[in-house]
Structure 1
C-alpha cells in the first residue's frame, strides 16, 4: 500500500505554534524581518513560515 501524504492545506504543529506566537507578539512583525525570525525560532522552511504568517493573519481577521 502506498504511503499517503497529507493535503497541502494540512500542516505541521510547528506552523500552528509559530502562528500562535506571531499573534501573541505582533510587534515582532515591525521590529525585524518575520520570515527569517520564524525560520530560526521554529525551524520552519520558507514555505512553512509563509503558511504561519498567513494563518496568523487569517486568525486575526476572524477575531476582528
Structure 2
C-alpha cells in the first residue's frame, strides 16, 4: 500500500492557505471557516489539518 491520496476542493485549499497565514487564527476555527468559506464541518476540519501541514512545511523549509 502506498498510503491514502487526499484530494481537497479549491474552497478547502483556499481556507487552509488563509488560515495558515494568520498570526492569530480565529477561535474556534471550524465555525469561522464554515461561515467565511461556506464549508461543511468535515471540510473545515480538513482545512485546519491542511493549514497545519502548510505551517509545518513553511517552518521546516524556511
Partner Cα distance (2:32, 2:5) in 1: 23
Consecutive unaligned residues in structure 1, runs of 5 or more:
1-6
TM-score (norm 1): 0.78
Structure 1 moving runs of 4+ over 6 Å = none
Offset at residue 24 of structure 1 (A):
1.5
Consecutive unaligned residues in structure 2, runs of 5 or more:
none
Partner Cα distance (1:62, 1:44) in 2: 24
- Alignment RMSD: 1.7
Offset at residue 11 of structure 1 (A):
1.5
State the partner residue of 1:15: 12
1:22-45 per-residue CA deviation (whole Å, 9 max, x = no partner) reads: 01223124xx21000000000000
Partner Cα distance (1:38, 1:11) in 2: 15
Count residues with an aligned counterpart: 56
